[in-house]
Amino acid sequence: MAERTLRVCALYPDLMNIYADRGNMLMLERRCAWRGIGFELTAAGLGDPVDPDAHDLFYLGGGQDRDQQLCAQDLVDTKRDALHAAAGRGAVVMGICGGIQLLGDHYELGTERVPGIGLADLHTVRAIDGSRLIGNVAIEVELPGLDGPRVLAGFENHGGRTYLAAGEVPLGRVLKGHGNDGRSGFEGVLRGTVIGTYLHGPLLPKNAWFADWLMATALGVDPGSLSALDDRLEDAAHQSARHAAGV
Ligand code: GLN
């Protein structure tokens, strides 16, 4: 029986899962197993309530506009309060691409305003001409508990342009690629343990160091306290993703 268990809740894993974002879950599961840390994965779909105290990490992957529209109202109606409570007690709430858009205030899709859950002070607007921000991307991030800047590498593909409100902090600074809106140089959002990013890939297999940071943050332990793993393959995957982005 593991002494510690990482308890993850995947939100709408069937609808919000493009670019194989579920690979992120597999990455967490493996890195926990290799360290003798337990791993529990619960799915919460349309209509399912979530218990804010039962999970350490809530995960919302990317989705097509139509899938996001299906989930948005449900998120507001059945999960918003629980997710605010969870973030309030220090659980990680992470949104990727369509996920970051739904963590914000709203997503403007033409004449429609898709509601978000307001965990981060941002909003997203779909480009009127339908153009998308696509390609390999690398960002520089500075995260609590780590001893200096690091690089996150991934892939982005979004029609939405995300704008952070004044005072809201991005997850990172764009080194290559488009980021939140293709202009600001900002990528993602970081507000305490609420994290949003446009990086797919899936993100975690391309950035094992970040998987560990996320795991440690969700468990409430120092990232340096996790035992080292043989990361030769993971480091090669990271280098290859950076190379693809030109960094
Ligand atoms: N549907 C959203 C957009 O195009 C998010 C897409 C995604 O998750 N890749 O902006």
CB 160 within 8 A of CB 124: yes
Say which residue the tokens 């403007």 belong to.
Answer: 108
User: Cα(197)–Cα(204) distance, rounded to whole angstroms?
Assistant: 12
Q: What is the residue with the minimal CA distance to atom 5 of ligand 1? A: 98
* pLDDT at 2 (0 to 100): 67
Of 97, 25, 87, 17, the residue nearest 56 (C-alpha): 87
For residue range 111-161, what is the model confidence (pLDDT) as tens digits?
999 999 999 999 999 998 999 999 999 999 999 999 999 999 999 999 999
Tell me whether residue 97 is one of the annotated catalytic residues. Answer: yes
Grouping H, G, I as helix, E, B as strand and the rest as coil, residue 65 is: helix
User: Is 200 one of the annotated active-site residues of the chain?
Assistant: yes
Question: Does the pLDDT of residue 1 top 70, yes or no?
Answer: no
Q: pTM for the complete prediction?
A: 0.96
Model confidence at 201: pLDDT above 80? no
All domains of the chain, ordered by start, with CATH? Answer: 5-245 (3.40.50.880)
Cβ neighbours of 56 (radius 10 Å):
23
Please work out whether the CB of residue 45 comes within 6 Å of at least one atom of ligand 1. no
